[in-house]
Chains A and B, each alone.
Chain A
Amino acid sequence: MSQRSEVYRTSLLGLLSPAIVLSVWESAGALGWINPILLPRPSQIVWSLVELVADGAVFPPLLYTIALFVVGYAIASILGIAIGVAMATSETLYGLLEPLVEILRPIPKSALVPVLFLFLGIGKTTMITVVVLAAVFPVLISTFQGVRGLDPVLLETARTFQVSRMRTIFSIILPASLPMILAGMRVALGLGLVLVILAEMLAGEDGIGFRILDLQRAFQIREMFAWIFVLVALGGGLMMLFDLIERTLVPWRGKT
C-alpha cells in the first residue's frame, strides 16, 4: 500500500519538472519575452503537431525513421552480442579482435557518416550502417564484460553437469549475462537514434531528421518544432518499450 503510493508520488514528481519547463516557456512566449518567430509557444507547436497527425503527414517520415533505426539496431544488437560472447569465451578471438575494437570504439561515429556516404552512396544501406556502427560497440562491450564477470560457480555448475560448449553458451552464459547485455542495448538505443537522425539530416532524403533540417531551411519554425516533438515522443516511446521488455526478460534483476 505505502509502496504503491510511493511509486505514484515519484511518477507524479517526474511529471512535474517537464510541466514547469513547459509553463515557463509558454508564459515567456505569452508575455513577449521571447521572439515568437524563433521560439513559438508550446501551445502553438502542439497545434502544428495535431495537424501533422490529423492529416497523416506525420506517418511516412516517422515510419521511415523507425524502419531504418529498428533494422540497424537489430543488426547491431545481434553482432554486438555475438562478437562480445565470442571475445569473452575464446582467447584467440579476444587476441585477434581486441585491438580493432579498441581502435574503432572511441571514434565519434558521426565523423564516419561522410566517409560512409562516399563509399556506400546516399541510401538506406548507408543509413543502416551508420546506426549499426553507433549501436554495436556499447552492446559488444557490455556483453563482453557481462560474460567475463559471470560467477565461476555458475560455469562450474555447468561443467559438472557435462554440458556441451554450445549449450553452455546458449542456456547459461547468454541468459546469465542478459542484464548486462540489456544495459548495453539501452545505451545503444540512445546512440542509434542520435545517429539515424543525423544521417537523415546529412543525406537529405526522408525521415524525421530530414524534415527538421528541411523545415529549418524553409524557416517554418513552428512545424520544425512539431517534428522535434515527434522525435521526443519517439525517443520516449522506445525507452518505455525497452523498460517493459527488460522487466519481462530479467525479473530477477537486483534480487540475486
Chain B
Amino acid sequence: MSERLGFDHVTKIFEAPGSDTGFVAFDDITLEASPSEFLAIVGPSGCGKSTLLKMAAGLMPPTRGRVLLDGKPVFDPPPGVVYLFQQYAKSLFAWRTVIDNVMFPLEAAPRSQRNELREKCRDYLKQVGLSGFEDSYPWQLSGGMQQRVAIARALAADPQVLLLDEPFSAVDALTRMELQSLVLQLWERRKFTAILVTHDVEEAIFLADRVAVLGAKPTALKEIIDVGLPRPRDQLTTREDPRFLKLRHHLTSLLLARNPAHVAAV
C-alpha cells in the first residue's frame, strides 16, 4: 500500500527545565495514512495529539524519526497540506471579509486569474453552505459558521492532506454533527487524505476508516482499529449500528484503562 503521509519512528522530546532527559511527548510512533484515507487519532487529553499533527504539517520538527509526505521527508509546511485549527476564530483574518479569507491561499496567483479564482471561492463558500455571507466579516458570524469559512479556505488551498486538529470541539453538539457531516461530504467528493485528531471516540468512529489509539505519557501507539462501517455514513443510522456501539465500547475502554497493569494488579 503506497502511503501519502507517514510517521516513521517519530519521537518528540520537549526540553524541560530541570531535567536532563527532557519531557518525552511521543516515543517511536510509526503510522501512515494512504491517499483518500480518513484516519483518526484518539487519545486522552494532554497526550500531545496536536503535536503529532503539527509535525505532520511541518510546523514542528520531530526530535527523532521522520515525517514523510509521498515518501519525501517534511521539513517546512509543504504545499497541499492544510491545517484546520480548533481555534478557528484565531485562524481567520478579522480584517478580511469572508470571501477574502477564502481567497488568501490563492493570492500568489497571477492577477489575470483573480476573477476566475474569486468565482471558485464563491463556489467553495456555497459548498460549505455560506452563500450570501461573502462580504460579511468572520466576527459577525457564529462559531460554526466561522469554522465553515476555515473549511472553505482549506478547500481553496486544494488540499492533498487535510489535518483536522479537534476542529469541532469548540462548537455546540448540534453544530458539531452538521460540521462532521459537511467534512465527510467534502472528503467523499474530493478524496483528499484526512487526518483527524480528537478525544471524542464517537466522532473518530463516525468519520474515519481507521482509528489509531494513543496511550498515556510517554505516548505510544496502543492499537489501530479498522472501522469498516459502510459509507455514506449517517448521523442517525451509523451511530445506531451495533458495530458502531461495539467499536465505541472497545475504544472507550482502551482510553479509560490508562494503565492496564495497574488495573490488573488491583
Contacts and interface: CB of A to CB of B under 8 A. Distances in A.
Contact of A160 (B59, B89, B94): B59
| Max chain B C-beta neighbours (<10 A), residue from A151, A161, A178 | A161
Interface in A139-190: 151, 153-154, 156-157, 159-162, 171-172, 175-176, 178
A256 B90 CA distance: 8
B22 interface: no
Interface residues of B, number: 25
A160 B82 contact: yes
Contacts of A252: 94-95, 137, 139
Interface in A217-256: 250-252, 255-256
Given A153-B87, A175-B93, A159 B59 contact: yes
B79 A176 contact: no
B157 interface: yes
Contacts of B107: 171
Contact of B95 (A151, A160, A161, A178): A178
Given A159-B77, A160-B83, A256 B89 contact: yes
B249 to A, nearest CB: 35
User: For chain B, what secondary structure do more than half of its interface residues adopt (helix, strand, loop), or is it mixed?
Assistant: loop
B81 interface: yes
B57 interface: yes
B105 interface: yes
Given A156-B59, A178-B95, A255-B139, A161 B81 contact: no
Contacts of A157: 83, 85, 91
A168 to B, nearest CB: 11
Given A159-B77, A175-B93, A151 B87 contact: yes
Interface in B169-200: none
B104 interface: yes
Interface string B72-102: 0000110101110101011101110000000
Nearest to A154: B90
A154 B91 contact: yes
A161 B59 contact: no
Interface string A88-105: 000000000000000000
A153 B90 contact: yes
A160 B58 CA distance: 8
Interface in B132-150: 137-139
A83 to B, nearest CB: 22
Contacts of A154: 90-91, 93
B157 A161 contact: yes
A151 to B, nearest CB: 5
Contact of B105 (A159, A161, A176, A255): A161
Contacts of A256: 89-90, 94, 138-139
B93 A162 contact: no
A151 B105 contact: no
A252 B76 CA distance: 32
Contacts of B139: 252, 255-256
Contacts of A161: 77, 82, 104-105, 157
Contacts of A250: 95
A193 B57 CA distance: 49
B93 A156 contact: no
B51 to A, nearest CB: 13
A160 B93 contact: no
Given A252-B137, A256-B139, 17 more contacts: A151-B87, A153-B85, A153-B87, A154-B93, A156-B83, A157-B85, A157-B91, A159-B58, A159-B77, A160-B57, A160-B81, A160-B82, A161-B82, A171-B107, A175-B93, A251-B137, A256-B89
- A-B pairs, 8 with minimum CB distance: A252-B94, A153-B90, A255-B139, A175-B95, A151-B90, A160-B83, A252-B139, A157-B91
20 contacts: A151-B87, A153-B87, A156-B54, A156-B85, A157-B83, A157-B91, A159-B76, A160-B57, A160-B81, A160-B82, A162-B77, A162-B79, A171-B107, A176-B93, A176-B95, A251-B137, A252-B94, A252-B95, A252-B139, A256-B89
Interface of B: 54, 57-59, 76-77, 79, 81-83, 85, 87, 89-91, 93-95, 104-105, 107, 137-139, 157
